[in-house]
Amino acid sequence: MSHCYKFLAPFYNKFTKDDGDYDRWAEYILKAAHEHGSKRGVDIACGTGKMAKRLCAAGLNMIGVDKSTRMLMWARDDYRTLWVYQDMRKLKLIRLADIAVCVNDGINYLKPTELDDFFLHVHDNMTPGGPFIFDISTPYKMAGMDKQLYYWDDDKATLFWNNKFTGRRLIMDLVLFVKMTHGAYLRKEEQHIQYPHTIESITAAVERNGFTMREVTESYGLPLRPESDRWTFYAVRDMR
């Protein structure tokens, strides 16, 4: 995880502008926040702050946490949110959160053996009764990305994104060509690795670590389907 988004960060918002309906996702999250009376939130693996900024604009006092300093640099145009450089697996906040979120596949970067420790850290940084809402890419989606090449291009950069799914992990090799002022291109490479998880394994890990799973839906409130690309989990921190 440490080198992810090192070179991609300046172009992340542009290349992923159609990757997810953040406005609808925020509506789902804010409905839960209203139901639980949440005032203070944390966006874990916040990236460039797409979700944290929406929740802040809706009135939540937000902290955004990410392991990439480059991504946080592009989040910091919003000074109402506290942006923190931190590994999501070792979450430690300066104050407890009434609601926690982790959107757009952040948990897929965790190995199956890291889930318990992660959920326990989230539990320990939340107020009792607070909702924790997060999503993952499904194994169905990840398998469908195997041997697929994606391509984005504009006047400043070109990105090639090649994928290999082994069944146990999705290896994403990114090659970025950045146009320089003299017209030549600078080549940069990154590799991202994500891990598939099942509804059963996520639910078990969540409930072993002080949460009760309230519901699992497709993409923030839609009915589950065998071909769902994104599962959304709505858990509530236990009162004890």
Q: Which domains does the chain have, with CATH numbers?
A: 9-138+196-237 (3.40.50.150), 141-194 (2.20.25.110)
Q: Are 196 and 139 in contact (CB under 8 A)?
A: yes
Instruction: Record the pTM.
Output: 0.92
Q: Output the pLDDT for position 14.
A: 67
- Alpha carbons 158 and 236: distance in angstroms, whole number: 42
Q: Which amino acid is at 236?
A: V
pLDDT score, position 120: 98
Kindly state the greatest CA–CA separation across the chain.
Answer: 61
Alpha helices in 101-237, H assignment, sequence order: 115-124, 139-144, 199-208
First to last CA, the chain: 32
Nearest to 133 by CA among 4, 1, 34: 34
**What pLDDT score does 10 carry?**
67
* Residues 101 and 134: beta-carbon distance below 8 Å: yes
Please, what is the Cα angle at 29 between 2 and 202, to 5 degrees? 55
**Per-residue pLDDT tens for 97-123?**
999 999 999 999 999 999 999 999 999
Kindly give the parts of the chain with pLDDT less than 50: 1-2
User: Which of helix, strand or coil describes residue 213?
Assistant: strand
CA 150/CA 134 separation, integer angstroms: 25
Q: What are the C-alpha distances in Å from 126 to residues 85, 95, 105, 120, 210?
A: 19, 9, 21, 10, 11
The pLDDT assigned to 1 comes to: 41
Beta-sheet pairing, 61-66 with 170-179? unpaired
Contacts of 27 (CB under 8 A, 6+ apart): none
Residue 189: φ, ψ to 5°: -130, 145
